[in-house]
Amino acid sequence: MNEPPHFHARWLAAIEAWRSGELPDETLPEAFDPGFAVYANTGMQACTAALEANFPSVAHWLGEPWFRPLAGHFARLHPPKDSRLILYGETFAEFLRKCEPDSDWPYLQHLAQLDRMWTLAHVAADAVPLDFTRWAAQDPESLGTARLHLAPATHWHGDSTLPVWDLWSTARADDIERSTVPWHGQAVLITRPADEVLCCEIDAAGCAFLQACAQGLPLADAAEAALRVAPEADLQVLLSTLFAQGAFAEDEPPPFSMYS
């Protein structure tokens, strides 16, 4: 097969020109070839479909007429770096945050962050959930110095003013009633103790507790961190919720968290 000089470099340059939305240079005839258009359009459609599947709450909230052009613009700027399209959209939330000044929906970045966390929980490594009965059987002195290790699938995100749980859960279920959502701060916990991803609402105390655990602090310090942000917090109820959701694992994994 005879190829023109620097064929691959020219092909990549043509893709870059197409990706930026600019007219390709006439010295890049590859970009004007009908086969290139088919290749480019197929790639764009695959990226757009992946974003729609990976960020259902954003797609449902905006609707197809708004979401698809936005997804297409993101795909032009951020082509996939991994062949596993289930992981595509790592920077989509940040992309939406930068679009906020021109948006009527400043909470879209939060919906995208939670969708991303759901995906990460779905693909996270399996772990054996920590057994609450066995763990709580320790003597009180040992409990205070014990460290709770987060499971690989444990993620959380919250906002002090936005009802992120109400917005995200209704949008993800495609059951949006925007006028009925009470406007107050909320947080979301996402886990996967077995085959199914679990999601529930938590509060600022829960986020502070999980963050302290992620930093390797002992139970007493994690409890203090929770009470510092919410002095009225019921730590027994909080621990019960976190254990029931499978937030902790028997072994120590590298945690991932996001809270703002």
pLDDT (tens digit per residue) in 125-163: 999 999 999 998 888 888 999 999 999 999 999 999 999
What is the average pLDDT value for the chain, to the nearest integer? 84
Residue 133 inside a domain? The answer is yes
Q: For the residues 24-51, what does the mean pLDDT come to?
A: 64
Q: Which of 151, 185, 61 is nearest to 115 (CA)?
A: 61
Is residue 93 in a domain? yes
Question: Would you place residue 1 in the very low, low, confident or very high pLDDT band (cuts 50, 70, 90)?
Answer: very low
Whether residue 34 is predicted with pLDDT greater than 60 in this model: the reply is no
Instruction: Look at residue 27 and tell me whether its pLDDT is greater than 60.
Output: no
Task: Name the pLDDT band for 105 (thresholds 50, 70, 90).
Answer: confident
pLDDT band of 75, cuts 50, 70, 90: confident
Sorting pLDDT into bands at 50, 70 and 90, what band is 256? Answer: very low
* Whole-number Cα distances in Å, 103 to 97, 124, 127: 9, 32, 40
CA pair distance 227, 205, nearest whole angstrom: 7
- 61 pLDDT more than 50: yes
Report how far Cα 126 is from the mean position of its chain's Cα atoms.
18
Would you say residue 178 lies in a domain? Answer: yes
Query: 46 in a domain, yes or no?
Result: yes
Note whether residue 260 is domain-resident: no
User: What's the structural domain count of the chain?
Assistant: 1
Domain that holds residue 123: 33-244
